[in-house]
Every structure is written in structure tokens, then in C-alpha cells.
Amino acid sequence: MKIIETKNLTKKFTPSLCSKCWRTLQGLFRAPSLKLWSVSDKNKTFLDKGAGFTAVDNISFQVEEGEIFGFLGPNGAGKTTTISMLCTLLKPSSGEAYVNGYNVVSEEAKVRQSIGIIFQDPSLDERLTAWENLKFHSLIYGIRKELIGARAQEVLNLIGLSEWRNEIVRKFSGGMKRRLEIARGLLHYPKVLFLDEPTLGLDPQTRRHIWDYIHELREKKKITIFLTTHYLDEAENCDRIAVIDFGQIIALDTPQGLRKLLPEDAIFLKTVNDEKAKIEIEEKYKVTVNFNNGGIFFSIKNGEEFIPELLKNLSLTVKSVNLKRPTLDDIFLKLTGREIREEKIKKDDWFRGILRSHSRR
């Protein structure tokens, strides 16, 4: 069964700056002497035409019941905007989306009752205890009073925070806060849990723990999980991944399927004479061999099976051999011509901030 379905979903943000603000902004960006920051091409178009900014551009996809579905993309790709539309927090500019069979525009209330959401930005009340946060949320969700205690205890057990129930949240570590937010999102037994960058800024060990909880949730609660991330290694945990860039889905497949986009493995080799090894390998296997870090490397299909053959046939003694499988990093690079890096988009953050605070829903 399809739990989430979108058809040509699009979100365009329209600016509502007053004309004076607008002229000042345009002037600032155009002044040659004021090169305060760089503006991406898309934002430039936006400035020139005042035409609005398409954050999510015609995306169509389906998520099956029980799937862990990942949205992978760099900063500003449109991940949060997509989640916000699916969770009814933003209205799509065009296209359609259904969650649990409900239309996100015409059946808002039903969608909200059937989903849990963990926002990208922290949203707990740090002055309350874990228990109070859960209780408050239960009341907002209209959970019957006599059920609240049992539900809160159940979700705390699930994410391993029961001994902390009466502690003030301010004392929690980043990972514990995130777990509590996940617990809170589960209180009303949602069928789909939306997690926007659940592990952003957490250390690798805590990130692994959060992932353990996510997998456990799927097993125990048979819940569908839709999450966003820009950690490529994490995306490997998903059943399927949609790679999103500039608001468009540029690939959608299982991690294994995506890896097939780069079918070749890289083999790194150190021998007693790398110059000779290069010539010999190029002649025998018709591949291009390059020098790298005091050794040589080349790309080949089925590297694992190739290595024993290479070692048997090469006339030179091999000092070390390493096999490198293509990672999602390499695949993202192949798909977009860029690496997932935060720096570039960070420069536009100031501009994004202004747009956010002056845009209509």
C-alpha cells in the first residue's frame, strides 16, 4: 500500500517585501563595490525577475507502507519544504500529495492525526521535564487523559529514556533531546513518522544510536519512516533514497541500485616497482592506471573477483592492495557534478533568512 504519494508537487515562495525593502535588497546585491556575499544563480534569477523562488520543483514519488524512505540532498535542496508540505505546514503551489490516503490540502486534520513529525530545529520546552513535555504534547493531540501516562511511559521505554523522565530537558545531551523528540512524535501512534535531519550535529556514536532506534521503531511499530539527511553514510540505512538537488529529484533507488550508477571499483596498489606495474596492468587489462599517494590506482568492474587474478598474474611483488567501492558521495558527484558540501550554500543563508521572514505561506 502507498502511504505517501506525490504528483508534480511544487512549492514556489513568493516574496512579500515592501517596495522599499525590495529596492534596497536589489541595490545591495547589484552594487559592484559591495561584494559581501555570493548569490547563487537561482537567487539571482529571483532577484532579477522578482518572480518567486521554486524550492520544490515538480516532484513525484511514492512511499510504501513500512518503508524507511530517505530524502538526501545538500543544504537548500528543498528537503524541509517537501516535509512541510507533506505534514500540512506549507501549502503546495501546485501538484498533489497524499499521506495515508488523505489529501494534504483538503484533509489537513486527518493527515495531521496520522503522522508524527520531528522538526529540523529543536522544539522541546527545555524548562519542562521529559514527562511534562510528553504530557503537554499528548494534550495538544487530544489523547484521552486516562491513556496519557501509559503512552508516555511506553514511548520513553522505546527510546531508552525512562530513568530520565523527571529530569529537566535543559540537562539532556543533544542526542537525548533528539530521542525525546522522537518519543514525543510517537505518542499518538502515527502511521508515518517524518524526521527532518534527525541526527544533524550529533556525534557519530549518537547518530548510530538514533539509527538503531529508527530501525527498532519500524520493526516494533510497523511504522513508515520518511526522513531527510545530508549525511551520505546515513542514507545507506534507508530502504530507498531520493536524491534531491535544487528542488528536483535527480535519482530515486535503493542504496544498492544507486551504487550501480557507478559500476566500477577502484583498486589501489603498491608494488616493488610501480612504473613497471602501471605498464604491465595497462597492457594486460586495457585500463588507465594513475599514480596516487606513493602507489597506483585504476578502476575496474567486480574488483573483489579481480584482485586474486591480478595477484596471480602480475610479475612484480605486491606490497599492498586496497579495494574501494563507490560511495554515495561518488554517486552524488556523478549525478550533480558537485560534492555534498555545506560551505557554498551557507553563504546564501543570510539571504535565505530574509526570504523566509518575508514570504507568504
Ligand X SMILES: Nc1ncnc2c1ncn2[C@@H]1O[C@H](COP(=O)(O)OP(=O)(O)OP(=O)(O)O)[C@@H](O)[C@H]1O
Residue ranges that bind ligand X, judged by CB under 6 A: 13, 53, 55, 73, 75-81, 120, 230, 352, 355-356, 359
Do residues 90 and 81 make contact, with C-beta atoms less than 8 angstroms apart? Answer: yes
Instruction: Give Cβ neighbours of residue 198 (< 8 Å, ≥ 6 apart).
Output: 118, 178, 182, 210, 214, 227, 229
- Alpha-carbon torsion 66, 2, 13, 58, what sign? positive
Nearer to ligand X, 296 or 328 (CB): 328
Taking the complex as a whole, the smallest distance from the CB of residue 199 to ligand X amounts, in Å, to 13
Nearer to ligand X, 6 or 81 (CB): 81
CA dist 321 and 246 (Å) reads 39
- Per-residue DSSP letters for 219-230? HHH--EEEEEE-
Q: What value, to the nearest 5°, has the Cα angle with vertex 5 and ends 213 and 355?
A: 85
Taking the complex as a whole, the smallest distance from the CB of residue 253 to ligand X amounts, in Å, to 19
Taking the complex as a whole, the smallest distance from the CB of residue 13 to ligand X amounts, in Å, to 3
Question: Of ligand X, Mg ion, none, which one does residue 231 interact with (CB within 5 to 8 Å by kind)?
Answer: none
Strands annotated E in 208-335: 224-229, 240-245, 248-253, 264-271, 290-292, 295-301, 318-324
- Residues between 33 and 92 that touch Mg ion (CB under 5 A): 79-80
Question: Of ligand X, Mg ion, none, which one does residue 292 interact with (CB within 5 to 8 Å by kind)?
Answer: none
Nearer to Mg ion, 245 or 274 (CB): 245
What kind and span of H or E run contains 132? helix 130-140
Nearer to ligand X, 321 or 345 (CB): 345
Q: Identify which of 91, 123, 95 has the alpha carbon closest to the alpha carbon of residue 108.
A: 91
Taking the complex as a whole, the smallest distance from the CB of residue 242 to ligand X amounts, in Å, to 12
Do residues 97 and 6 make contact, with C-beta atoms less than 8 angstroms apart? Answer: yes
100 binds Mg ion (CB under 5 A): no
Question: Of Mg ion, ligand X, none, which one does residue 13 interact with (CB within 5 to 8 Å by kind)?
Answer: ligand X
Nearer to ligand X, 235 or 355 (CB): 355
- Residues between 119 and 178 that touch Mg ion (CB under 5 A): 120
Instruction: Report the Cα 182 to chain-centroid distance in Å.
Output: 16
Taking the complex as a whole, the smallest distance from the CB of residue 81 to Mg ion amounts, in Å, to 8
Count residues binding Mg ion (CB under 5 A): 3
Taking the complex as a whole, the smallest distance from the CB of residue 78 to ligand X amounts, in Å, to 5
Question: Of ligand X, Mg ion, none, which one does residue 77 interact with (CB within 5 to 8 Å by kind)?
Answer: ligand X
Which cell goes with 219?
520493526
List contacts with Mg ion (CB under 5 A).
79-80, 120
